[in-house]
Every structure is written in structure tokens, then in C-alpha cells.
Structure 1
Amino acid sequence: MTKKLKKRVFFLIYCGAFLLPLAFFIPAGAVNSGWVKLLGTAAHDLGRDITVDSADNIYVTGYTEGFLDGEVNTGGYDIFLAKYDTNGNRLWTQLLGTTFRDDGYGVATDSTGNIYITGRTNGNLDGEVNTGGYDIFLVKYDTNGSRLWTRLLGTALAECGYGIVVDSTDNVFVTGSTEGDLDGLPNAGGSDSFLVKYDTNGNRLWTQLLGTAFDDQGRRVAADSTGNIYVTGSTEGDLDGLPNAGGSDSFLVKYDTNGNR
């Protein structure tokens, strides 16, 4: 045996002696603790967003074109909300829709386990009147999947709620895009990004628009510990006076809890 080969053998023996005792400290099942779950119909179904609450329950929203989990589809694409436990057991599924197209885009939970979803609807969702085209929706459910209230916000043109967050005092913030004068605020042209604040009862507290003469949209929203709100998305123009590098640029905007930029 050559000197070089002896070194390699010694190294392998050393590694084995070090790693073997660690195997006895690995909990049973820790190596393969993951899982995969499917939920669908014979038609088209898509999960768009996901969140986990303080009790490690998992919530998924999106759309379904069929009778998902045995729930009745009202026509076309319906919004769904599904709850799973941490082991992947499906606890319940809720569908909500109209005879037109409805999509769930964002989901968030509050401090007491309520769930909020946002997206777009092309009809009179849950009895709320659509103002034309696609409207933004915000729906609140309790932890058992009971629907507590539904809110619509829109113009005669197209809107969509893409992102949602709940802050530390259970205020709800929704961002997305609007092609009209949303909540009476003038649109800068094309589609503008928006940020809307609601309280836990669904009362709309304020709305802010930000845009250029081109297409701009808010995609995701986050809140910090002091109540400030951050929105990110894309802009095709010189947003808030900042020069665009070309094509569509990403943006980050900070608001305080009163909607001041």
C-alpha cells in the first residue's frame, strides 16, 4: 500500500468513526418528514398563494374550474381556500365564485386565526355588486372556514388584488393593480399600483394609488413591527419621479400606517 493510499484509508476511517455515533441521535422519521399532497378536479386548478398561521395550520388559495373536494362550482373559475394541518391532512375546503371568472391571488391570517383572501372577480361575488370588469375582493373566514364578510372594490375597468398582509394590530392591507380611478383617486394612466387598508371588520380606512402613464402594479405587501407598510411590484415608467432603466423595473415603496409615502 502506497503512502498516498494509506492517507486516504485513514481519512475514511476517521470520518466513519466521527459520523457513525451521530446516527443514533437522529430522531425516528426525521430523515423523511416531508410530504406531497394533490388537490384537483378533471378541469384546471391552481394554487396561487400560501400562508401558515401561528398554530402551524397551512392555508392555500387559488382557483378551480371544477367541483374541488366535492364543493359545488358556481361556473367557470371559482376561488378556493383549503386548510391543512402540519401533517398535510386536509381539514376543509371552501369555494366562492360567480358564473364568471373568479381568482384567489393572496392569503393571510391574523392574530386570532382568521383568514383573509384577495384576488379578482368578474361577477357579483357573495351578493356584493361588481362595478364592471374585474373587481378586487377581500373575504374574511374564521378558523373553521365560515365566511364572515366579503368586500368588493373596483371601477368600470379592470382591477386585481395580488398581495395581502395583516399587521400586528390586525389591520389588513391589499395591493394590486387598477386601470381606473379607484376609490375616487385619479389614475395616472395605464394600470396603477394601489394599496388599500381595512380594519378587521372590513371597513375601508384609506386607499393610495401610485403610477405613471404606463403600466404599474403592486404584487406583494409586507408590514413591519411598527406599522409601516412595504409594497413591491413592477413599473414601466418613472415612478415617483425616479428614472426607469428600461422596460419594466421593480419597485419598493414604504408607507406609514396612515398611508403617507
Structure 2
Amino acid sequence: MSATNSVVNAFRVLECVAKMQPVGLSELSRAAGLPKSSVQRVLLTLHEIGWLRPSGSQPTRWSLTYRAFSVGTQARDHQLFRETALPFLNELQLTTTETIHLAAADGQELVIIERLDTAHRLRAFLPLGSRIPLHASATGLAFLASSSPEFISDYLAGRLAAQTDRTITDPDVLRETIETVRLRGYSVNEEGLTDGITAIGAAIVNARGEPIGSVSVSGPSTRMTPEVFETFGAAVRETVGRIHAAL
């Protein structure tokens, strides 16, 4: 195996652990598409250098250590983005009393880099570091609505996997939805990412008008009803405008 393949396999296993932790060898082998022997070597190496920790039970299950978190937080652009946005996200959370997510762009996905939880017992929850498909989320639909026609066409040409029964997977319907979001200034995603959860989002753009991330207000569909869409939509839209000005 070449050094390049070894590095690629190590990152593949690391990413699979991040998504599935705590996870065992057999599950990792299937998820990474690698032989168990290769995965086992990677696991032992990553454990030796402090990136993974094994459970004390048998069979062994693997999880990330805080080293991964420590390195991830050094992504300076995202750290500046998060720190700039945080005061405005706090105000939005107080206004809506629902969960607030801040997502940053990473290729054709968004990554959750901040979450402000609501005090409600029943609430929306996405772990920090979650990768969010654009077509299935309020943050993603808002991001697409602020993207270039070329980016949208490229994205729609790919696989639009369903996350729930209500995920929009038809490219034509998605184009219509994107246009509606663009005209309205905020997105509404009713249970397209998670059953029982509705979210409202808006994109944050840079000085060139290019989207760099999104903000969303998320909560149970029993509370996030059409009666609050316009009010929350205006609040999210104002919040991303303030973040844009501060950036």
C-alpha cells in the first residue's frame, strides 16, 4: 500500500468514526469499504497518536478523543465566522426561544459550527460538526438560493438523497423551491431533514454576495407552525444581515 493510500484510508476511517461513534471494527470496515485488517491497523495507529480511544468493553468500540476537537477549532476562518456571529445568534435565540444553528460552507455541504439550545424540553438537535445536505435543510435551501446558477445546476445534477419522506428530491421542484426562497428572503423546511422538526433559515453572504454559511431556527413542528413562519423568517433574515455587516 502506498503512503498516499495509507493517509487516505486513515482519514476515511477517522471520518467514519466521527459519524458513527462509538463504533466497532466490522461496522467501520463496511462503512469505509476497507478490509478489516486495514481498518484495524489504522485504528491502532490513530489510537497510538491520540486521535481515537477504545472502549473498555468487548468487542471494542471506538470514539474520537478531544484531539480532533482541538484541531478542528483551529480552522481560523470558521472560528472568526463563529465569533462574529455569536452575539447576533444569541439575540435571535432570545427572540424565537428555539434552537439556533450556524452552518458554514464546505464544498457542496454545510457543517454545523455552532448551536444555541432552547430551554424547551422538546427541541431540535444537530451535533456540532454534522454535515448537512443542501437540498434537505433550511440552512441548505437558503444557501442554494444565494448561490450562482452554475453552482445550483452542478448540485442538482448530483444525487439528491432523501433524509425523510418529505425531503425534496425532484430537481424541478427543488428549483421552484429555491426561487421561492430567493424571492421571500428565507427558507422553510418542514421535516425535510428530520421527522417532526421544522426549520427556517437564511444565508450569510460575503462582500461579493457569495454565500458562506447559513443560520436557522429549528424546533418541533408542533411549535414551528405556519403562524410563526413570517415572524421567524424576518428575524433570521435580519440576523444574517447584521452578521454580514459585522464581517
Coarse TM-score class (shorter-chain normalised): under 0.3
Query: TM-score scaled to structure 2, two decimals?
Result: 0.26
Q: Which has the higher contact order (CA 8 A, sep 6+)?
A: 2
Name the one with the larger helix percent: 2
Structure in which a larger fraction of residues adopt strand: 1
